[in-house]
Amino acid sequence: GNSVTQMEGPVTLSEEAFLTINCTYTATGYPSLFWYVQYPGEGLQLLLKATKADDKGSNKGFEATYRKETTSFHLEKGSVQVSDSAVYFCALISSGGSYIPTFGRGTSLIVHP
Amino acid sequence: EPEVTQTPSHQVTQMGQEVILRCVPISNHLYFYWYRQILGQKVEFLVSFYNNEISEKSEIFDDQFSVERPDGSNFTLKIRSTKLEDSAMYFCASSREGQNSPLHFGNGTRLTVT
């Protein structure tokens, strides 16, 4: 079946530090990959997506590249801000059959001033 | 920008009671979902709904759960006889299409079963 594995959190960084949150997946076919973000007290919001190998999704300074050879979709940001503190979820939608997204456990990011 | 709205934001109920969680999806969306997130754990799929019927459901979505779209705008999740382990954040989501279409989530309802 489909699964998404994210690095354990929390990730604690100082402002302006470089961020990487690892995500690897197992899926049949060629899934579409997503990162969602959940700010405190809110629902999940789509942050970025990539629908085929080597695509790079980007938004708000965040980037992730769809790496088919390593089945990964790591989230990166060059310089984090306090306002980036949130929980980040990696997700996939399989290309065959179900269109239901499978989510990872979520990785909490805490950014200190 | 249109939003998915959920009510109530927090529901406390006693074990064995019935609860109904309410959602208003984005108006031109066609696919509707319920997910739940037990504290500290992953976001788990419960059920999806399309064309006025359940299209997929997970193992979690057993006979104590049901969904309805009673009036063309609301989308409800009913838990007939709540258990302590049903305590979680329940998220409603909608999407315009199925495949590759991002989900738009509500802010969730925190259900506490005592």
pLDDT (0 to 100) of residue A24: 97
Of chain B, the percentage scoring pLDDT greater than 90 comes to 78
Is pLDDT above 70 for B100? no
pLDDT (0 to 100) of residue B101: 79
The whole-chain average pLDDT of chain B stands at 92
How many interface pairs between A and B have CB atoms less than 8 angstroms apart? Answer: 52
pLDDT (0 to 100) of residue B102: 83
As given in the structure block, the two tokens for residue B49 are 């709904």
Is pLDDT above 80 for B7? yes
Q: What are the beta bridge partners of residue B37? A: B43, B89
pLDDT (0 to 100) of residue B70: 85
Cis peptide before B2 (omega within 30 of 0): no
Q: Do you know the residue count of chain B?
A: 114
Instruction: Extract the residue ranges of chain A whose pLDDT is less than 50.
Output: none
Is pLDDT above 90 for B83? yes
C-alpha span between A19 and B63 (Å, rounded): 43
End-to-end CA distance of chain B: 37
Q: What is the CA radius of gyration of chain A?
A: 14
pLDDT (0 to 100) of residue B39: 85
Maximal C-alpha separation, chain A: 45
Name chain A contacts of B6, Cβ cutoff 8 Å.
43
Nearest to A44 among B31, B91, B101 (CB): B91
